[in-house]
Structure 1
Amino acid sequence: MRAALYIRVSTEEQSKEGYSLAAQKEKCSKFIESQPDWDLVKIYADPGVSAKDLKRPGVQQMLEDIKKGFFDVIVVYRLDRLVRRVLDLHNLLDDFEKNNVKFKSVTEVFDTTTAMGKFFITIVGAMAEWERDNLSERVSMGMEQIVREGKWKGGEVGYGHMWDRNDKVFVVVEEEAKYIQMMYQWSIEGDGDITIAHKLNEMGITTRQGNWWTNTAVGRILRNPKNYGTSKRGVRTHKQDSFLVDDVYPPIVSKETYDESMRVRKNRFRFSGRNVKNDFIYSGVLACSRCGSTFKGNRTTAPKTGTEYKFYVCNNRPEKKCDCPSISEKLVEDKFIPNLRQAIDDLSNVDIDLDDGNREIEEQKQFVSKELQKIKERRKKWQYAWANEAISDEDFSDRTAEESRKEKHYLSVLDKLERNKGESLPASSVVEVKKLIDNWKILNDQEKKQLLRSLVNRIVVDIDKSRQIDDRLKIKEIIFN
């Protein structure tokens, strides 16, 4: 009978007696040698990997080989080396049965060929899951108590605060706190996360890691209750709601400011997440081609007629950082709709999936996929070399850890490429947008602004005062969300 081994150690078990890879390999190999007509054909190993699920390189390779009929029985030192969740156990046993593969544990008596044996192994699997959940519960309770005592539970301290190792307390980072206060003020005034991120970036302000701000990063900060002094902690083991612990962090803003910001955010997202506070249709969307800043809406009243007019000014103009002239909303409206209609027509007449940007993304994805395949093949080589004692246990663990690190990196890159693909407006949306443009004139200013922000990220413009008034505005680019 062809036998295969599966061995595993989690990080904290690496040094425990009897749980090392070498120890498991030795005992399982001797067990196979003691069985008549059994031959060891392959070894699968997952060094430094938890058994919380089946997403482990060794297990996945084993499952692939099971379907190919590479072996007849899988041998483990103990059941919990292979699996700790009852559902995973049932799934594995089902795969074993479908492919006529038996399961044997060196230190436990299991017989998966009988109903009683399957029942017994399920009970043992349930006990293993209970042991894991019990440990998780104790850890969670300990973390909860740390939070309630206002102590640092480790990890990254959020933007605006730092952990004082000498005094063992959280302290405010004044420079970061100043920008957090600005974020809340802008939020209360009606600015969305994207607008706030653009403002920070235009001011040259970066995150703690030196990255440019994104709407996600801004939203995460604004929603964090630590900014008014409260810590939030979830007890996921019990599937309970998160609890709040007061007076953990020194406050950066008041509770009233935080609550007002959350109220404005809630109102803003009531309609498609794009509600607005004023009737300046193009505020925050109109962008200057000269300096890159956005335009801000303003009003003026004709002295003779008393008629009110709306116009837009580059945000860098008041500080004399830009010389772009102001522009009336009527002129923007007259120019924008024809340009938008043309842009939509252009998009509907091209194969969006074959544009240069997506072609480049596909090429990058192919490269990353090839690198992931190389990692998979190298893993097989290390496993084979280690199984035949061509490399030491330590060398095998180091090489496997390095491959895991590379795999994690490339999987992250692949995920980003997937999310970046097809950023152009989808064809299904083009039809809906055309319908909305046809009804543009009957919408009020609030509805127009909601529609515009749901569709467009930037309208890049320039103004040439040397031309006639009707021809001064040049829409250079429309950037869709």
Structure 2
Amino acid sequence: MRAALYVRVSTEEQNLEGYSIEAQKNRCMSFIESQGDWYLSKVYADPGHSAKNLDRPAVQELIEGAKNKEFDVLVVYRLDRLVRSVLDLHKLLELFDKHNVKFKSVTEVFDTTTAMGRFFITLVGAMAEWERSNLSERVSFGMEQMTREGKWKGGHVGYGHMHIDGHMAINEDEARIVRMMYDWYLSGMSDRKIAKELRKRGIMTRGGAQWSESHVRYTLSNPKNKGDLRYGIEKEKSKQFVVEDIYPQIIDVDTFDKAMSIRESRRTFHGRQATSDHYFSGILTCFRCGRSMVGHMAKVNGKRLKNYVCLGRRHFECDMPSISERIIEHNFLQELRRGIESENINHIEEPAQNNADEIKALKRDLNKIKDRRKKWQYAWANEIMSDTEFQDRMQEEQELENHLKKQLEDLDETQPHVVDDAVLEMMSDAVENWGNLESTEKKQLMQIAFDKIIVDKIESKKVLDRANIIEIVFK
């Protein structure tokens, strides 16, 4: 009978006695010789490969050999040399059965020609997979625990930080670039423009590559810059967690949160709308058809003026004329000023005031939950609290948070939107200093504070009165 050998050793097992390629070959050859009419026809070897899947050179060659009937029996030193997954084991057994190939292990008693033998080999394969899963879970848990304790778990150290004696420290040369990037972003520059500016100045990434838009986006969105350590699967946010106040801060929390607020607001806009000089783009809404109004440049008497046109008009589905930015700006500021002076900017009538107070109270309670979570995290990381206690506390906080958020949603559905006091104060300052702000600063303000501004164009003898601000909706 023609016998083929499969031998494998992973990188970690290279130096372990009894697992080397030669040791496996010798044991398998002794077994083949003991069978009388068996003889060696082929050796398949995968040195330095893991058995986590079948994507190994020698295994693929072995599969083709079985299909081409190049051997009658496959011999291995142990089952885990060939596979560690029940699914992979079944795939190979089905292949062997289809092409009348037997399977034998030198150190384990398997007979794939009987139902009991098949059942037994499946059980052993399941144990091998269980052992590998257990190891993976232990490694994952250990890395997660290190992360929660603020220790370096190995791997890539993000731009702006470096690893020194088991802890993170600021790389001042890189941190200076990171701070500059945040300044640019907060001034209204997009990720693409920041990458372009970095390339223009000859500033390279740590790996010596040119900065790309995606690299800038990842760097600016990384919470480690404000001191928080993120751990988990990058593409699965449900499997991520953040441990606060672990890294030395490159920027303060307010700067990071402000940048993330701008980034979130830009998600609702299209490309150039987010960073163009037309600071009402994407926010201005047509009263007649409900569509967005976008900025465009118009030439009047040789001068280039900023106007806004309804998207419905562009498709011949709306009769809203274009409106000059100067007219919109004049009426927008007047409406804001009236609201601030009359203390009625929230458009909340007296009977609903109690609900407004309740909304603020709920938001305060939600902030308290966040603070308590930090305390439980700190206590657990420093072994003041057991795993069970920590899980119970976090579960309680999650249930309370869900309950409060549901209450808040119910109130938001039935009550007019309440403008936060901080936003109200910011708008009051903006109205007073509007003329001193740059276009990018006005754009930034609009994206942070407003959801939409509904406008209609009306006939008026006074040019500046030809825009009617129907409603201002805050975020």
Deviations 1:393-419 (A, max 9, x none): xxxxxxxxxxxxxxxxxxxxxxxxxxx
Pairing of 1:134-173 with structure 2 (within 5 A): 134-165=134-165, 168-173=166-171
Q: What displacement does 1:30 show?
A: 0.8
Give the whole-Å Cα distance in 2 for the aligned partners of 1:108 and 1:4: 17
Which consecutive unaligned segments of at least 5 residues does structure 2 have?
Answer: 280-294, 307-475
Give the whole-Å Cα distance in 2 for the aligned partners of 1:239 and 1:68: 46
- Give the 3-state SS of the residue equivalent to 1:33 in structure 2: helix
The alpha-carbon distance between structure 1 residues 65 and 186, as it changes in their structure 2 partners (threshold 3 A), is farther
Deviations 1:449-479 (A, max 9, x none): xxxxxxxxxxxxxxxxxxxxxxxxxxxxxxx
1:105 aligned residue? 105
Give the whole-Å Cα distance in 2 for the aligned partners of 1:41 and 1:8: 18
Deviations 1:3-33 (A, max 9, x none): 1111111111111121111111100111111
Q: What displacement does 1:260 show?
A: 2.9
The alpha-carbon distance between structure 1 residues 301 and 208, as it changes in their structure 2 partners (threshold 3 A), is same
CA contact (8 A) 1:164 1:170 kept: yes
1:178 aligned residue? 176
Q: What displacement does 1:159 show?
A: 0.7
CA contact (8 A) 1:162 1:170 kept: yes
1:126 aligned residue? 126
Q: What displacement does 1:54 show?
A: 1.1
CA contact (8 A) 1:269 1:275 kept: no
Pairing of 1:45-444 with structure 2 (within 5 A): 45-165=45-165, 168-234=166-232, 241-270=239-268, 276-278=274-276, 308-309=304-305
Q: What displacement does 1:228 show?
A: 1.1
Q: What displacement does 1:123 show?
A: 1.0
- Give the 3-state SS of the residue equivalent to 2:5 in structure 1: strand
CA contact (8 A) 1:8 1:49 kept: yes
CA contact (8 A) 1:140 1:235 kept: no
Q: What displacement does 1:307 show?
A: 5.7
1:470 aligned residue? none
CA contact (8 A) 1:13 1:19 kept: yes
1:461 aligned residue? none
2:363 aligned residue? none
The alpha-carbon distance between structure 1 residues 53 and 249, as it changes in their structure 2 partners (threshold 3 A), is same
- Give the 3-state SS of the residue equivalent to 2:275 in structure 1: coil
Letter in 2 for 1:203: R
Give the whole-Å Cα distance in 2 for the aligned partners of 1:239 and 1:187: 24
Give the whole-Å Cα distance in 2 for the aligned partners of 1:86 and 1:274: 52
Identity of aligned residues (%): 58
Q: What displacement does 1:280 show?
A: 6.0
> How many residues are matched?
291
Letter in 2 for 1:162: M
1:35 aligned residue? 35
The alpha-carbon distance between structure 1 residues 151 and 306, as it changes in their structure 2 partners (threshold 3 A), is same
Q: What displacement does 1:43 show?
A: 0.8
Deviates more, 1:184-193 or 1:97-106: 184-193
TM-score (norm 2): 0.56
CA contact (8 A) 2:190 2:275 kept: no
The alpha-carbon distance between structure 1 residues 29 and 222, as it changes in their structure 2 partners (threshold 3 A), is same
Give the whole-Å Cα distance in 1 for the aligned partners of 2:225 and 2:243: 13
Bigger Cα Rg:
2
Deviates more, 1:91-100 or 1:200-209: 91-100
Q: What displacement does 1:104 show?
A: 0.9
- Give the 3-state SS of the residue equivalent to 1:276 in structure 2: helix
The alpha-carbon distance between structure 1 residues 76 and 180, as it changes in their structure 2 partners (threshold 3 A), is same
Letter in 2 for 1:261: A
Deviates more, 1:191-200 or 1:73-82: 191-200
Q: What displacement does 1:235 show?
A: 7.2
CA contact (8 A) 1:267 1:275 kept: no
Give the whole-Å Cα distance in 1 for the aligned partners of 2:6 and 2:237: 32
Letter in 2 for 1:78: R
TM-score (norm 1): 0.56
Give the whole-Å Cα distance in 1 for the aligned partners of 2:85 and 2:187: 50
Give the whole-Å Cα distance in 2 for the aligned partners of 1:260 and 1:22: 62
CA contact (8 A) 1:8 1:81 kept: yes
Deviations 1:377-408 (A, max 9, x none): xxxxxxxxxxxxxxxxxxxxxxxxxxxxxxxx
- Give the 3-state SS of the residue equivalent to 2:116 in structure 1: helix
Q: What displacement does 1:81 show?
A: 0.7
1:15 aligned residue? 15
CA RMSD of aligned residues (A): 3.1
CA contact (8 A) 1:171 1:249 kept: yes
1:420 aligned residue? none
Deviations 1:427-460 (A, max 9, x none): xxxxxxxxxxxxxxxxxxxxxxxxxxxxxxxxxx
Give the whole-Å Cα distance in 2 for the aligned partners of 1:49 and 1:26: 20
Deviations 1:101-126 (A, max 9, x none): 11111111111122222121111111
The alpha-carbon distance between structure 1 residues 122 and 208, as it changes in their structure 2 partners (threshold 3 A), is same
Deviations 1:168-192 (A, max 9, x none): 4211111211211222233344433
Give the whole-Å Cα distance in 1 for the aligned partners of 2:277 and 2:160: 34
Q: What displacement does 1:69 show?
A: 1.6
CA contact (8 A) 1:6 1:44 kept: yes
Deviations 1:53-104 (A, max 9, x none): 1111111111122222211111111111111111111111122122221111
Which consecutive unaligned segments of at least 5 residues does structure 1 have?
Answer: 282-296, 311-481
Give the whole-Å Cα distance in 1 for the aligned partners of 2:167 and 2:160: 14
Give the whole-Å Cα distance in 1 for the aligned partners of 2:169 and 2:64: 52
Deviations 1:145-171 (A, max 9, x none): 222222222223111001123xx4211
- Give the 3-state SS of the residue equivalent to 2:239 in structure 1: coil
The alpha-carbon distance between structure 1 residues 118 and 230, as it changes in their structure 2 partners (threshold 3 A), is same
